[in-house]
Structure 1
Amino acid sequence: MKRLFVIILFLAVAFSGIASFVKISPAGKYFEHNGRAIVPVGFNDAITWPSLISLSYGNKEAAEEYFEKLSHYGVNTLRIMFEYAQDRSGLSLFESPLGTYNDTVIGIWDNIISLAEKYNIYLIITPWDPFWMYENWDVNPYNADNGGPISTMAEFLTDEEALEWQKARFKFMIERYGASEQILAWELNNEIELWYGHIFYKADYSVGNEARKWIEEISTFIRALERDLYGETHLLTVSTAKPALTGILSGKLYRFDHIDFFTTHFYFDTIKDPKDPIKIAEDVVMNINYHNYLFNDSIPFMDSESGPIDRWPQPSRFDTACYKAFSWAHLASGGTGIGMRWPYTSPHLMPDYLLQVLKPISQFIESEGIDWLDFSGINLDNEIIISSDKDIFHTCSGNSFENLTSVIGWVASKETIGNVVIKSSALDEGTYLLEIWSDSYERDVDSYILGSFKFDSKDDFSLQLSIDQSSFAYKIYRIES
């Protein structure tokens, strides 16, 4: 029966033409699908959280209301683990014992894929939930005590029998869901250096070698299977628990012969236990700049998990300020999208006050002016200068150093900004439009543009503005050569 399903699926794809999966955009910083840019705006979700739990008992209507709500706020990307191992009963595991698949989880994912396609939301899917696998190892199906192949998770990347079970899981996922063009990427593993390595005190050299060999084995298997079934492959990525890798681990894992882009988890102290939104923005920009320098601004790089893990829930107003600072700093400094927050709320889902942060960002991205397909997101903090008599934070990025014709940026202060001066001598000659954007949610607002200013750029330009709020975003783009 399973083989018949695969044949029918393959014939359906062949009849409708070769699949058109998400690719990396021409400039290398974002993604594209059928010629349209994807700048990820979204967060982490889970099949057992209140947002999606209705699917576990067949209530697709509630889940559809949720997806419709996400679409309203401008969400276009969700990162979801294929199973969730927190429940010790195993009800949300994909298989238990290994090889025995959970019809409930399959039904949940049938509906998630269907809703993602209907509401044009892209998915980053990772097959395991290693934090809760580790916490609940005594009841996990990979545990030898439960009939599995290994005695500890330290063997997960190296045991040959475990590897075959892992491939079988990917095979099921690819055969059943791999035709979907809403899958932005398979995230091969979550926090790969931690849960199979550092938590067991393995040296970086061992962790790096084991992880790299595993990535090569799994990615080769996936790409061969997808090319056979669909004629092309989805993007592949991996995440690390560390915000930034250095030394041996950097040399082993920051290589892109077997994956297409990289994500890390921005759990800096300023983010884990937040006290100042501006400090959050500073650490986000630092990490984006570090990785874009290492990767030469040539591949996507993004946070795929972050939030106040050490102290939550936060008061809603303060949490909103922190999330706004993180999201705008991530995008404006040259990161791929806004990062993917883990909720850290009670109940555990993204509440409206956090979703409202995303609406102006989505409008900022979707409006005219910036060609995101050709936007490299090169940091320009030293080329676009914003001065004020207030203490301000500013970060920005542009399409190019050599032929700079478009810029995005974000400015914030702990008080109303008032008068600011924007200066630069880096823009190519031409006529430009400067747009000032509100970054604060307003209900039933069609445009968050506060004002626009036309100017000519010769050798340099200088514009003085008055800003009656504590933060704003901006675009600068050429309208005539």
Structure 2
Amino acid sequence: MAPEAPYFVTEHGQPWIPIGQNDAVTWPDFAGLFRRRDMAAVDRHLAWLAAHGVTCLRFMLEYCQTENRYLERPAGHFQPNMVRFWDDLFALCEKYGLRLLLTPYDTFWMWRRWAQHPYNQALGGPCRRRTQWLLCPKMRQAIKNRLSFATARWGGSGALFAWDLWNEIHPAHAGNDTVIFAEFIHDISCHLRQEELRLHGRSHPQTVSLFGPVLGHHPRVAEVIFRHPDLDFASTHFYDKATIDNPRDTVASAICTGRLVREALTHLSPERPFFDSEHGPIHAFKDRKRTLPEPFDDEYFRHMQWAHLASGGTGGGLRWPNRHPHVLTHGMRAAQRSLADFTTLIDWSRFRRRNLNAEIQVSPLAFAGFACGDGAQAVVWLLRQDQRDGQRLVRKTAPALPVQVVVPGLAAGPYVVTLWDTARGQSPGQLALTANAAGQLRIELPALVTDIALAITPA
């Protein structure tokens, strides 16, 4: 954790931004690692990810959609093929400087296929019902045993970024109640942290993820997810029925992302990082059996990641592919490369950001504004919202408009504003400007058609 800002640093104190996506042991990019069927292909893929600015992969230690990727079978017996899979993946991630955000269970498929799961008491496992996962003492011990095994085996690797102690914690996992959440997290967190300190002399950052819409029905969960004293950073999953889940254009989902980041930051202490660790067109793909057209999905992806970063999230958020095949497109990788290059312009280790989406002034209103800043730095992203083409993309032939932005909250004095073309991944130039005594920086931009990002740093 950065000591002076709600972001991450490496063990050498260099800023580190989680840029990446969700992956799984059965999906095409990593399937070749199981039983070492095609390690060379996975090696090439990780090299390609690193070349595109990817730094972080979110994985579940097992994936339960099928019958042959359980980490334990029976419960307590760790499968040699899966252990070797993880041995090899950690070694490859070390080779290319990638880090892993690990969560111990695939709770979605474990719930849906509980009758087949090795933890089911009917199959010799510890727990009788899935509604008792967080309540059953034997299940609690099995969770601790898995985490103890995992950190003993892989916790000494520099490729481990953090633990998501429980994927999408939900009232249904505890008899449709949330009272146990705080105690469950405390128990599991302390156990893992003590194990890591004993084994490695240090512990890794911890979070617990939440399916975002749960907050609407159980607002008290915010106290646990965002402010639990044992957790180091907060993460939720950005799903919204009206926009993100089944996007009808590439703008509304970005605006929703900005709103969700701002809402999350209102729950957090100023020093705690936040990022969306799962999002994507889940309803379109899972329920409607529709893969978004690639040009549309590329722009939807790019817009969401910039809205996330500029609103104060750490990185661009982690996409769940929700495509067929279940991988990100080359256009999405280019968008990640662009974001990664932009992040070098800000000193994240000292950036005590606050969300400024509602505080910045943008004219004309044809552009939506997303921003975060402190007294010395700011990030701004402007998105055209009044023009669509026949594919529901932002119209590239729309008339260019001059744009004025007023960014508040900066210390008076000179600044450099670096312009960033998010689609091309390069800067078209810089502006030298001065914030007035009221802390306002007025920026007159060249005529814009679609979108632009701004990195504002002291001169």
Structure 2 SS opposite 1:92? coil
Q: Which of 389, 410, 416 is the aligned partner of 2:381?
A: 410
**1:138 and 1:272 mapped to 2: Cα distance?**
28
Give yes or no for contact 1:343–1:349 (8 Å, CA) kept in 2: yes
Please give the per-residue CA displacement for 1:40-94, whole angstroms capped at 9, x wherever unaligned. Answer: 111100111001001013122111101011011111111000111111x3x1100
Structure 1 residues 461, 147: closer, same or farther in 2, change over 3 A? Answer: closer
1:131 is aligned to 2:105: no
Q: Provide the residue aligned with 1:296 in structure 2.
A: 269
Q: Which of 10, 35, 40 is the aligned partner of 1:61?
A: 40
Structure 1 residue 226: Cα displacement: 0.9
Give yes or no for contact 2:182–2:228 (8 Å, CA) kept in 1: no
Structure 1 residues 109, 338: closer, same or farther in 2, change over 3 A? Answer: same
Structure 1 residues 54, 195: closer, same or farther in 2, change over 3 A? Answer: farther
1:355 is aligned to 2:328: no
Structure 1 residues 195, 66: closer, same or farther in 2, change over 3 A? Answer: farther
**Segment drifting more, 139-148 vs 188-197:** 188-197
For 1:428, the aligned partner's letter is A
Give yes or no for contact 2:278–2:319 (8 Å, CA) kept in 1: yes
1:439 is aligned to 2:418: no
Q: Provide the residue aligned with 2:61 in structure 1.
A: 82
Structure 1 residue 212: Cα displacement: 1.9
Structure 1 SS opposite 2:76? coil
Structure 2 SS opposite 1:116? helix
1:396 is aligned to 2:371: yes
**1:109 and 1:425 mapped to 2: Cα distance?**
47
Structure 1 SS opposite 2:282? coil
Q: Provide the residue aligned with 1:249 in structure 2.
A: 221
1:72 is aligned to 2:59: no
Structure 1 residues 136, 294: closer, same or farther in 2, change over 3 A? Answer: same
Structure 1 residue 343: Cα displacement: 0.2
Q: Provide the residue aligned with 1:283 in structure 2.
A: 256
Structure 1 residues 224, 470: closer, same or farther in 2, change over 3 A? Answer: same
Percentage identity across paired residues of the two chains: 30
**2:11 and 2:449 mapped to 1: Cα distance?**
36
Structure 1 SS opposite 2:51? helix
Give yes or no for contact 2:210–2:225 (8 Å, CA) kept in 1: no
Give yes or no for contact 2:227–2:267 (8 Å, CA) kept in 1: no
Structure 1 residue 248: Cα displacement: 2.6
Structure 1 residue 249: Cα displacement: 2.2
**1:226 and 1:96 mapped to 2: Cα distance?**
25
Structure 1 residue 427: Cα displacement: 2.8
What is the count of residue pairs matched by the alignment? 436
Structure 1 residue 281: Cα displacement: 1.6
- The structure 1 segments of at least 4 consecutive aligned residues displaced by more than 4 Å after TM superposition are none
**Segment drifting more, 25-34 vs 254-263:** 25-34
Q: Provide the residue aligned with 2:449 in structure 1.
A: 469
**1:254 and 1:457 mapped to 2: Cα distance?**
33
Give yes or no for contact 1:302–1:336 (8 Å, CA) kept in 2: yes
**2:203 and 2:408 mapped to 1: Cα distance?**
43
Please report the RMSD computed on the Cα atoms of aligned residues, expressed in angstroms: 1.8
Q: Provide the residue aligned with 1:113 in structure 2.
A: 90
Structure 1 residue 31: Cα displacement: 4.3
1:260 is aligned to 2:232: yes
Structure 1 residues 95, 308: closer, same or farther in 2, change over 3 A? Answer: same
Structure 1 residues 38, 195: closer, same or farther in 2, change over 3 A? Answer: farther
Q: Provide the residue aligned with 1:232 in structure 2.
A: 202
Structure 2 SS opposite 1:28? coil
Please give the per-residue CA displacement for 1:190-230, whole angstroms capped at 9, x wherever unaligned. Answer: 01115514xx6x1xxx3x22222221111111111111111
Q: Which of 174, 181, 188 is the aligned partner of 1:218?
A: 188
Structure 1 residues 468, 242: closer, same or farther in 2, change over 3 A? Answer: closer
**1:465 and 1:258 mapped to 2: Cα distance?**
44
Structure 2 SS opposite 1:423? strand
Please give the per-residue CA displacement for 1:308-357, whole angstroms capped at 9, x wherever unaligned. Answer: 00112101111111111110000001112111110001011112122121
For 1:392, the aligned partner's letter is F
**Segment drifting more, 465-474 vs 65-74:** 465-474
Give yes or no for contact 1:243–1:264 (8 Å, CA) kept in 2: no
Structure 1 residues 164, 463: closer, same or farther in 2, change over 3 A? Answer: closer
Question: Tell me, which stretches of 5 or more residues in structure 1 are unaligned?
Answer: 1-22, 442-446
Q: Which of 182, 185, 197 is the aligned partner of 2:159?
A: 182
Q: Which of 422, 427, 433 is the aligned partner of 1:449?
A: 427
Q: Provide the residue aligned with 1:6 in structure 2.
A: none
Structure 2 SS opposite 1:52? helix
Please give the per-residue CA displacement for 1:6-63, whole angstroms capped at 9, x wherever unaligned. Answer: xxxxxxxxxxxxxxxxx34521244443201112111100111001001013122111
Question: Which residues of 2 match residues 38-57 of structure 1 at below 5 A?
Answer: 38-57=16-35
Structure 1 residues 254, 462: closer, same or farther in 2, change over 3 A? Answer: closer
For 1:395, the aligned partner's letter is F
Give yes or no for contact 2:4–2:271 (8 Å, CA) kept in 1: no
Q: Provide the residue aligned with 1:384 in structure 2.
A: 360
1:372 is aligned to 2:348: yes
**1:335 and 1:461 mapped to 2: Cα distance?**
22
Structure 2 SS opposite 1:450? strand
Q: Provide the residue aligned with 2:458 in structure 1.
A: 478
**1:296 and 1:224 mapped to 2: Cα distance?**
25
**1:120 and 1:419 mapped to 2: Cα distance?**
41
**1:352 and 1:125 mapped to 2: Cα distance?**
25
1:33 is aligned to 2:8: no
Structure 1 residues 25, 326: closer, same or farther in 2, change over 3 A? Answer: farther
Structure 1 residues 425, 158: closer, same or farther in 2, change over 3 A? Answer: closer
Give yes or no for contact 1:428–1:457 (8 Å, CA) kept in 2: yes
For 2:349, the aligned partner's letter is L
Question: Which residues of 2 match residues 331-342 of structure 1 at below 5 A?
Answer: 331-342=309-320
**2:111 and 2:224 mapped to 1: Cα distance?**
24
For 1:474, the aligned partner's letter is L
Structure 1 residue 296: Cα displacement: 3.4
